[in-house]
Structure 1
Amino acid sequence: MKKTKIIVTLILVFLMLMMFLLYILYRNNIFRRKINNFLESKNEELNIAKEKAEEASKLKTQFISTISHELRTPLYGVVGITNMLSDEHKELANSPHLNSLKFSARYLLSLVNDLLQINKIEENKVVLEHVTMNVADEINMVSNSLSFIATRNNNKVITEIDPTIPEFLVGDKIRLSQILMNLVSNALKFTQNGEVKIKAGLDRKENSLCYIKFEVIDTGMGIAEKDLGKIFDKFVQIDRKEDDYQGAGLGLSIVKKLVKLFGSEIFVKSQEGKGTAFDFTIAFDSDSSKVNEIINNIPVDLSNAQIYKVLVVEDNKINQMVTRKIMEKSNFKTLIVDDGYAAIEALSKEPFDVVLMDINMPLINGFETTKLIRKKGLTIPIIALTAFAKDEISEEAFEAGMNDVLIKPFEPTKLIYSIEMLVKRKND
């Protein structure tokens, strides 16, 4: 009986342990299901959030593209008409009002470009170019371009360029100019009756790489120490006494991102009431064989006084007038039509040397018009004149059969050069 009781007791204990283990397993299973359901719901929420973020990014890109297009279109008219006034009325060459109008147009255009630039950098769409450049020429170009701001604030721009820097280097001169332009314009805006110094010195040389140190130093109001950490953030405006030409707060953010693209870093030192100094170092290739190769591949302008017949396809009346003036200034014969169908009809009636095609038009856009022209077997050069960003439409433009793309507003000399090169290439 004692043995039986012990055995029964052990069996009961064993059964109780088994029941307890089964209960724990049951609870764990329920808990695991809850966790799995929770994780699945959270994963679904994350996927939805990801889709919304991607959609928001697309909408942002589309919004910036649309806004830039809508601003560039009237800016083409403003810049073109101010140039026409300068050409037709020489007495207005030194007019402060006309100069102010030109500056305002350039300033607004720079804001549009800044928005596009910051968006491209964030989406990793900016690729550095490798072209031959002269550091002294780039610095002098920046200084001359900002002479209006310097005069307005009674500032003096001083350039110091190390003579040991090689005459020709290989690098992205456009991005370098953007960096310097933003830094120098900021320095000039917030300096009164002072000076802004642009310095370039040979920091060191490693094999064929020349490390050039650039400095932009001003004698302006300076930046408070508490603000130094945030001046490179987007859309940030630190507290200033002057509220003129504050801008959108994108300039220094673009500078930092562009310097980073060069594989470098920008530094700032400032003292309130005494001025600010920015410096950064960029490596450029000084290999003479690469420099000579790039120079030899630069197309030579073989322009002559030949008169071309140009068909302009543009629906905006003001832009029609501006483009006509550019053509007439070069003694080109011009016919203007309002839409793509009218362009096709004009090409069927008489010969032209080149077509200047707008992209965003009613009835039929520039891409579809170009495709119809190519289907008819016409090999006439077609140049897209558009307010869209070049990288957004270039692929579609060339696939449609266009030969070149120019972004409004553009330098008239670029358009004339493109016309002459394309027409000569077709006739050769």
Structure 2
Amino acid sequence: MKLKQFIRPFDASFSTPKAARKLLHLFAIALTGGVIAIAFSYVRTTLNDEISARRSDMNQGVAEAQLFFVSREMLLKSLVLSAVSNVTQPIPNNNEVRTEEVHIVLGDSRHNWSLWLTNRMRDYLSQHQVNLLYVLDKGQPTVTRLFNVTSSPDKVPDVVLRQLMAQTQGDFSLRDDVWLRDASLTDSPLYAFSRLDDRVLGSGWLGLEVQVPDMVAALHHEGAGDFMLLDGRGNVLFSSSAEPVGNLRHQLQSIRSFGFIGTGLFPEKLAIRKRMDYSDWQIVYALDIKSLLPVLAGPLLISTLLCALFAWLMLCLVRRIDRRLITPANDRIEGLIESEAFSRTVIHIAPVALCVLRRVDGSVVLENSLAQQWLGAGHERNQLSRDWIKRAFEDVEQNTTDEFEMADGRHLYLSFAPTRYKREDVLICAFSDISAHKQVELALEQARQSADSANEAKSLFLATMSHEIRTPLYGVLGTLELLGRTELNRQQQNYLQAIEGSSANLLQLICDVLDVSKIEAGQLSLTLNRFSPVELIQGVVQSYAGAAHAKGVQLFACIDPKVPDWLNGDASRIRQILNNLLNNALKFTDHGRIILRLKLDSRDDERVTLNWQVSDTGKGISLENQRFLFEPFYQASGSTNVVAGTGLGLSICKRLMHLMNDSMRVVSEPGLGSSFTLQLPLEQLNAQPTDPGCQPLLAETVYVVATVRELAENFCGWLNRWGARAEVRRPGLLAYTPGAVLLELHVGAFKYALVPGWQGQKVIAGTEDYVCTESSSNHRHVNLNDLSDVHHAVSEAQGQSMVQINALTENRLDGHLGIHVLVAEDNVINQLILRDQLEDLGCTVELAGDGQEALALWRATPFDLVLTDVNMPRMNGYELAARLRELNSTIPIIGATANAMLEEADRCRAAGMNQCLIKPFSMRALYTCLLAYKRNADEAL
């Protein structure tokens, strides 16, 4: 294959690397010449600007010289015109003031003139260094000095007098003003004469004498250079530097006004020549060309360096382009022929099918044996080829891949791209056989569908089992709650509490399993409400106090006194986390203590960060087990003699912490115990007027004694917060102080008094029931895990009268709701429990076995509220609610379901229900739900 088949230039002479090098050199020379021209233009512009500036200075010097001579001429003219001609004798001035003016008589006896010089005129002549002369031109010229600035003036040169007399013999009408100087003397003054009276030829001449220094100062100008004063014939009258200018005087005739002068190849001076306006005298200013060189040095040096630098850069660039582009291009052109032959060989031996299609007609330009074998040459291939070409060249959104199945069942994967080959548009295509890959994908899809089906079956199983277990469990818990509201003896209450605890554990197990399912389905959400962190901690600790006492483990809480009274958050989820942590701590701790700590970490306006920590002295967790500690259903190894759990508690805790935008930190060591810390940012709320507050304690001394130093310091902080002066003391003998109260803190079983023989008021706070050996009316026994109980006891010990609010009274439900409720429930036991719960809350109840029966009762009797189960035969709760809304009923509808999934509540609201209760629910939850409709019921009655 020849090179001309790939590259076909219009002129072959421009297609060789040698021609490219010549063009590159010419281009570099042209650029360098352009830079030199720019530099020359820059230097020339700088020179022209400097010459223009010097010409301006010369013009200013000429103007100042003309001003000098004109001012002197006008002074002389004014003196001449002020002279008064006398007929016979000088006429005195009647207004003459001797102290202000001087009378001077000029002329001879036949003709004389009077001239008055004022003091101001004399001062002006002195200031400008001007001598006043008078020359009488009759016979021998006589010079009279009328006013002298210097004390010893020079004699007027004879040359000047002869020249002046020559003016007298001529046409005086044209020569009444004469400027003269003795050019043979370098220091000869300059004289200006004007005829005293142009009406009388012999009136004489009035003249001014200007000294050489004054004239030099007047004619010299900074920046204008040396100057020469020429007469009408071109003779030099005066020169500031006669030598350099005098040598070039013969060239000055050729200068009209401004130009260069010199005898050599280059000009020597820059000169300007102008004629004086008052006479035929001329003034010339000349500058040495060398004075312009300092101005041109910088631009000339910069231009030279720039040109040299650019020439060097162009030389380096030409070499680099030649080395990087032209020479490699020459090599590439030579290798292009070899590459084309090599490419053809690669296409034919490639393990994939390759072909090149012409865009115009879709014909095959190149292809290998695999392409012929897989694609064939039939109509199907032609149709596919046209479609690929259209997609590659015409579609706006190009998709360069495709998958298709051939008639023989083979699955091919295509990747194509438009390009050019032999000066025409072509499409290159690469095919891969993906038949095996398709079979794998089909197997994976079937496995995914099987997994989804299994997951759906698992979720359905959990929901069904939850519903089936919650329904009878509601009967158990509801019956136990109603039983607890009856009169029971001590033993029956213990049995009841044991049954309630077991039922609660069963319910918690079901809730944990459902929580895991909700988390996996993304349905678990937080419910923010107002709660007291102190009450939450005390309730959690109190619920595990009995279990800790049974194992002989000390369990207590240390709550930071700086913790806010009220917070906004999901108290139920926080309680769930703490319950799981305490449950695990009790499970793995056989002796020692378990401490639940709550500390204020930081406060930022309305946001506070609290640290919740559960630490124990149990078995501890190895580092290997800590990595899998939060995995669902994980059980740590080596936990012998421990009741096995579900392994869901810590997994749920971790996921709940992620839901609250935080994490949990674990510190544990085998044999030393474990510590679980969670940090939660919560919103602080202000106390409401209806919130019960603690009455301040008296500012008296309260001694705090405990077997645990941390617990004593914590209670000391609370006592100080309440207003007392608390002090921590060690167990042992303590001297009695009048008015002081002793607070003993006992963790675990009470064995002996920490301060024996105390005679004053004493409060004993413990975590377990005990019989005190010291029987005294001054002793009070309270629960260590109830801060309000401790506060009340200390206040009574200080002698304050307080009204204690019984916790049972606070939690007692109002039994006067007065609502007429229609209950639709298919389970007979649940019907009876609901009826008893509602009647205990002060409601009247009508029971229905399904939705149709409930709808018939609603039409016959007016009700204030409908409480319906969602799953019932014939007509379920959803259909009942929808039917009531279709009949334009605005009666509140509350659904009851054993399905705890999130979509169940949404489905209830979509059917027209106002609220949804999850079975099993307590009387407190039922009361809270119905309390919102109490007022409406009262108004209806």
2:890 to 375, 379, 391: 379
1:294-351 CA distance string (max 9 Å, x none): x9xxxxxx97835222221111122122112212212322222211111111112222
Deviation at 1:18, TM superposition (A): 5.9
CA RMSD of aligned residues (A): 3.0
1:213 aligns with 2:603: no
8 Å CA contact 2:816–2:843 kept in 1: the answer is: no
Deviation at 1:188, TM superposition (A): 1.9
Task: Give me the whole-angstrom Cα distance separating, in 2, the residues matched to 1:45 and 1:359.
Answer: 41
Q: Under a length normalisation based on structure 1, what TM-score does the superposition of the two structures give? A: 0.84
Task: Give me the whole-angstrom Cα distance separating, in 2, the residues matched to 1:79 and 1:144.
Answer: 21
1:408 aligns with 2:919: yes
Task: Give me the whole-angstrom Cα distance separating, in 2, the residues matched to 1:255 and 1:402.
Answer: 32
Q: Partner of 2:932: helix, strand, or coil?
A: helix
Task: Give me the whole-angstrom Cα distance separating, in 2, the residues matched to 1:106 and 1:238.
Answer: 25
8 Å CA contact 1:92–1:98 kept in 2: the answer is: no
1:113-140 CA distance string (max 9 Å, x none): 1111112222222233443333222211
1:179 to 565, 569, 577: 577
1:335 aligns with 2:734: no
Distance 1:421 1:131, change over 3 A: closer
Distance 1:420 1:208, change over 3 A: closer
Task: Give me the whole-angstrom Cα distance separating, in 2, the residues matched to 1:132 and 1:237.
Answer: 36
Distance 1:86 1:168, change over 3 A: closer
1:83 aligns with 2:508: no
Question: Counterpart of 2:628?
Answer: 230
Letter paired with 2:499: L
1:9-54 CA distance string (max 9 Å, x none): xxxxx99996884454435645965543334444444443443333
Q: Which runs of 5+ in 2 are unaligned?
A: 1-339, 355-367, 375-411, 414-430, 692-812
- Structure of greater Rg: 2
1:398 aligns with 2:796: no
2:650 to 252, 256, 262: 252
1:68 to 449, 454, 466: 466
2:593 to 180, 195, 198: 195
Percent identity between the two aligned chains: 32
Which residues of 2 match residues 63-212 of structure 1 at below 5 A?
63-91=461-489, 95-206=493-604, 208-212=606-610
Larger CA deviation: 220-229 vs 182-191: 220-229
Task: Give me the whole-angstrom Cα distance separating, in 2, the residues matched to 1:357 and 1:131.
Answer: 27
8 Å CA contact 1:310–1:352 kept in 2: the answer is: yes
1:242 aligns with 2:641: yes
Task: Give me the whole-angstrom Cα distance separating, in 1, the residues matched to 2:590 and 2:343.
Answer: 88
1:88-131 CA distance string (max 9 Å, x none): 24215664432221111000100111111112222222233443
2:670 to 272, 278, 296: 272
Larger CA deviation: 130-139 vs 318-327: 130-139
Larger CA deviation: 91-100 vs 374-383: 91-100
Larger CA deviation: 406-415 vs 137-146: 137-146
Task: Give me the whole-angstrom Cα distance separating, in 2, the residues matched to 1:287 and 1:111.
Answer: 33
Distance 1:343 1:16, change over 3 A: closer
Q: Under a length normalisation based on structure 2, what TM-score does the superposition of the two structures give? A: 0.40
1:322 aligns with 2:833: yes
Task: Give me the whole-angstrom Cα distance separating, in 1, the residues matched to 2:343 and 2:591.
Answer: 91
Aligned length: 405
8 Å CA contact 1:356–1:382 kept in 2: the answer is: yes
Letter paired with 2:521: E
Question: Counterpart of 1:4?
Answer: none
Letter paired with 2:477: V
8 Å CA contact 2:484–2:493 kept in 1: the answer is: no
Which residues of 2 match residues 48-63 of structure 1 at below 5 A?
48-63=446-461
Task: Give me the whole-angstrom Cα distance separating, in 2, the residues matched to 1:95 and 1:172.
Answer: 32
Task: Give me the whole-angstrom Cα distance separating, in 2, the residues matched to 1:206 and 1:83.
Answer: 43
Deviation at 1:422, TM superposition (A): 2.6
Distance 1:374 1:129, change over 3 A: closer
Distance 1:243 1:376, change over 3 A: same
Q: Looking at secondary structure, tell me which structure has more helix per residue.
A: 1
Letter paired with 2:559: I
Task: Give me the whole-angstrom Cα distance separating, in 2, the residues matched to 1:163 and 1:150.
Answer: 25
Deviation at 1:412, TM superposition (A): 0.7
Deviation at 1:395, TM superposition (A): 1.6
Letter paired with 2:542: N
Distance 1:15 1:182, change over 3 A: closer
Q: Partner of 2:822: helix, strand, or coil?
A: strand
Distance 1:208 1:40, change over 3 A: farther
8 Å CA contact 1:200–1:214 kept in 2: the answer is: yes
Q: Which has the higher contact order (CA 8 A, sep 6+)?
A: 1
Q: Partner of 2:630: helix, strand, or coil?
A: coil
Letter paired with 2:628: K
Task: Give me the whole-angstrom Cα distance separating, in 2, the residues matched to 1:68 and 1:103.
Answer: 19
Distance 1:329 1:93, change over 3 A: farther
2:877 to 366, 383, 389: 366
Deviation at 1:383, TM superposition (A): 1.1
2:867 to 351, 356, 360: 356
Distance 1:23 1:327, change over 3 A: same
Larger CA deviation: 314-323 vs 413-422: 413-422
Q: Which runs of 5+ in 1 are unaligned?
A: 1-13, 296-301
Larger CA deviation: 37-46 vs 340-349: 37-46
Distance 1:150 1:37, change over 3 A: same
Larger CA deviation: 160-169 vs 247-256: 160-169
8 Å CA contact 1:153–1:189 kept in 2: the answer is: no
Q: Looking at secondary structure, tell me which structure has more strand per residue.
A: 2
